[in-house]
Every structure is written in C-alpha cells, then in structure tokens.
Amino acid sequence: MRITRIIGSIVMLVSAPAINAQRLTTADPNFQTLSNLSTSIGWYQVTGTKAWSVGDADADQKGAVCLTELDQLRAAGVPDTRTLEIQWEGPELKRGVHTLAEIRASCEHVARIGKVKAFEKWALLAMQAGTNYRSGSDYYRLCKQTYNDIVKAGVPPTERVPERMIAGTAWSGTIEDLRKTWCDAGMSKATSQTSAREEPFRKELKDDKLKIALKYGSVFIPGGVGTGDAHKMAGASVWFLDLSPPRHCADGRQVHTIRRYKFNGDHLAGTTEKDYCGGAPRSAFQ
C-alpha cells in the first residue's frame, strides 16, 4: 500500500493485485463446461450499429445456456471466485481473466436479452403486418402476451432493444414503446376491423349460424353460389363449405371435401361430408 499526503489530507492508494487465470486442463472434471464459458456466452455486435445482441441458440425466453452452465459449476462445488480466461467480449467484459462471478453478471444480461428477443419476434411480425390488421391479430396478441410475461420475469419496460435496420426500417427503442407502437395500436385497429366485419352477421344470425359465419366469413348456398351476405345466409336452411384437405386422388387431382350444414332455424340440425376428385359438381351443393 502507498500513502500520499495531499494538502493536509491522506489519500491511500491500494494497488490491485494481478489476476492470473487458474489453469484449465482436460483433467478438470468441469473442463467442457469451463471451456464453453471461456469460448463464448453468446454476445455479438450488430453489423452497422455495433449494438450488443445475443445468438438465438444462446438465450431465449426461458433463459440462457451460460446460466445453466454456471449453475452446474456451482452445484459441482466450483466457487464463484474461480478465474477463467475468456476469449470473448461483451458490454461488461473484455477479453482476459475474470472470475465466474463476473461472467455470471454478464450472463444474466445475456438471459435478459434472450427474453427481449422473444418479445421482438412478435413485435417485428406485428410491424411487418403493415395495414393487414386482420392477419396480424395473432402477432399483436402474442406480442402483448410475451411482453407481459418478460416484464413479470423481471425485464424492465425501459429495456432497449438492440438497435438495427430491419427491411430498411430503423428498429430501436424500449420494449414498452415498441409494444405501444406496433402491438397495442395494431390490436386496436384489428379489433375495430373485426367488429365492423362481424356486425352484419351479428345483426342477421344467431346461435350455430352465427358461430359458423364468424369462423369462415362466407359459405356456399344451394346451387353452389358463394356468399358472405348475412341476409342471404340467414334465408338459407342449408350451407356448404368447399374444403381442400392435404390429400390427392389416385390420378393426382386435389381432393375437395364438401361439408353440408343443415339448419333448423339458427340451430345446426346435422352435418355431412363427401369427397370429390378435383372440383365438386354443382349437384354437390343441393
């Protein structure tokens, strides 16, 4: 220890001891796990922005591979003070000698980014859905659900995503901002569109007819006429669906299954199905 007097005050400067990596040999029973941690825990920098991110195989919503490995070492009795020379860099650490405790702190960050990437998956799909709000409805729902799950797991709403370009669009900001911009807004518009699309059906149809109409949107009525007109559907006691299962006839033509719904008022009285090779004849819609 070196003591220096500066204008009547005493400042003690403590020299940091040099840290040397504990030798790692193949004879070590934890050699493979320690070697993995020495090589990589998943960090990489995004091309262009140099933002830190982690590989898909290294962390996901459930956790990080490196945390599992570190927990295995703890269980095996390896102390957190054990040193290891790492060949990688991350936001917190540079290449060189570090304790397992220091590596764990960086690995906990890896795990957090893995959860963020799980949210990003659905937020990006929500963004890419554009104005096709109906097809994006599942993305909006899963985006909001994943956001809630990872925040509950400890990721702060202010956590920022790795900044980068996605299909020519700048992708950056907090997970809360991205949820509001792409998922909340998309869900709101999808709900409005769905309400507008369902309104005529809800006005004209009830019970089983309403359930089928909401699910499929349009049907065939007798004579093979396709319609999504709720008034015409309400007046027909028989509906048909032309389904294309993943099957082909012996001659290679697509199998078409004609499903026939028979109604008693708005209640379903019976359902039958019949297969055809290629397009079904008009007589199938009787």
Q: Map residue 174 onto helix, strand or coil.
A: strand
At 41, the amino acid letter reads: I
Same domain, 144 and 227: no
Residue 43 and residue 108 in one domain: yes
Is residue 87 domain-shared with residue 114, that is, in the same domain? Answer: yes
Instruction: State whether 209 and 179 are in the same domain.
Output: no
- Rounded to whole angstroms, the Cα distance separating 113 from 119 reads 10
Q: Which two tokens stand for residue 61?
A: 């919503």
Q: How many CB atoms lie within 10 A of CB 271?
A: 12
Residues 41 and 165 grouped into a single domain: yes
Q: Is residue 193 part of a domain?
A: no
For residues 92 and 175, state if they share a domain: yes
Number of domains comprising the chain? 2
In terms of domains, do 61 and 177 share one? yes
Question: What is the percent of the chain with per-residue pLDDT over 90, rounded to a whole number?
Answer: 81
Mapping DSSP onto H, E and C, the string for 25-46 reads: CCCCCCHHHHHHHHHCCCEEEC
Domain membership flag for residue 134? yes
DSSP strand pairing (164-166 vs 169-171): antiparallel
Give the per-residue pLDDT at 135.
78
Q: Does residue 195 belong to any structural domain of this protein?
A: no
What residues pair up with 271 in beta bridges, in sequence order? 261
Instruction: Say whether both 175 and 89 belong to one domain.
Output: yes
Dist. CA 226–CA 215, nearest whole Å: 15
pLDDT for the residue numbered 21? 72
Last residue of a domain, one of 142, 159, 188: 188
Q: Is residue 76 part of a domain?
A: yes
Say if residue 168 is in the same domain as residue 233: no
Helix (H) or strand (E) holding 6: strand 2-6
Which of 158, 188, 218 represents a domain boundary (last residue)? Answer: 188
**Residue 100, domain member (yes or no):** yes
Quick check: is 256 in a domain? yes
Q: Do 111 and 237 belong to one domain?
A: no
* pLDDT tens profile 249-262: 999 999 999 999 99
Determine the pLDDT at residue 169. Answer: 84
16 within domain boundaries: no
**What per-residue confidence (pLDDT) applies to 6?**
36
Q: Please indicate, yes or no, whether residues 161 and 118 belong to a single structural domain of this protein.
A: yes
Residue 19's pLDDT is: 60
Asked whether 240 and 220 are in contact (CB, 8 A), the reply is: yes
Q: How far apart are CA 168 and CA 209, in angstroms?
A: 45
Length of the chain: 286
109 lies in the same domain as 49: yes
pLDDT in tens, 136-174: 889 999 999 999 999 999 999 999 999 998 888 889 999
Domain that holds residue 104: 31-188
Domain membership of residue 280 (yes or no) is yes
Tokens of 260: 């026939």
- What confidence tens digit (pLDDT) does each residue in 204-229 have? 999 999 999 999 999 999 999 999 99
